[in-house]
Chains A and B, each alone.
Chain A
Amino acid sequence: EVQLLEAGGGLVQPGGSMRVSCTVSGFSISDNYMSWVRQAPGKGLEWVAVIYSAGSTDFADSVKGRFTMSKDNSKNMLFLQMTDLRAEDSAHYYCASKYCSSGSCYFDHWGQGTLVIVSS
């Protein structure tokens, strides 16, 4: 059974940093593209970041230069390091696996999310 379990959310002050993680079971992340998607309370979904199987990354413009994404294939874990956090970064952060074919990708497995609140 595929499971994705996020951890590490909580309250952080504006300008602060936080790292959230995602532990994956049921498949190996080393061969898959993995993403973070966030959702501010009461708002829509926003794609945040992707890490490709070779380890390269891409980010949404809203977080570029502030967030980094990494993975530990041996532990089957993903990480999202967030710095210079702003109130608008407050959201549930979901990790998700991506399936890609014919030049397009969708998110086939999702975690339950971890809530990050940026507030003084």
Chain B
Amino acid sequence: SDVLTQPPSVSVAPGETATITCERDNIGAKSVHWYQQRPGQAPLLVISFDSDRPSGIPERFSGSNSGNTATLSISRVEAGDAADYYCQVWTFNSDHPGLFGTGTEVTVL
């Protein structure tokens, strides 16, 4: 089945950069969107169309997508960045148009 594979967890010290990957064959041909989900809260869009930041999202959040890997980077990590992060793609005219990644828990040390 079609799967977007993310590492289960990433640990990062405050001030450092967290890098979260999302892997799928030829994902570079799709637009990838990223969500942050804090405990007990609904997901929040942090990156759309590979690298666009919605209004209100800090510049510390950035994205890229090429080949078989899409990447979300969080620079100068803060304690408030601790959350689960999910990638997502959409494919019209597919058996399963909506697809989320497996999710990555970011821990700030």
Contact = CB atoms under 8 A, between A and B. Distances in A.
Contact of B95 (A45, A61, A94): A61
A110 B86 contact: no
A2 to B, nearest CB: 12
- Chain B CB count within 10 A is highest, among A44, A45, A94, A100, for A45
Contacts of A50: 97-98
Nearest to A108: B45
Interface stretch (B10-18, B68-76, B99-107): B99-107
Contacts of A120: none
A111 B42 contact: yes
Interface in B71-109: 84, 86, 88-90, 92, 95-103
A27 interface: no
A101 B50 CA distance: 13
Contact of B98 (A47, A99, A110, A113): A47
A102 B49 contact: yes
A45 B43 contact: yes
Given A103-B92, A104-B49, A107-B45, A45 B33 contact: no
A88 interface: no
Pick the most buried of A98, A107, A112: most chain B CB atoms within 10 A of its CB. Answer: A107
B42 A103 contact: no
A60 B96 CA distance: 6
A104 B42 contact: no
Given A103-B31, A111-B42, A44 B96 contact: no
Contacts of A44: 84, 86, 100-103
Interface of A: 35, 37, 44-47, 50, 58, 60-61, 94, 98-108, 110-113
12 contacts: A37-B43, A44-B103, A46-B100, A47-B97, A47-B98, A47-B99, A98-B90, A101-B49, A103-B31, A103-B92, A104-B49, A110-B42
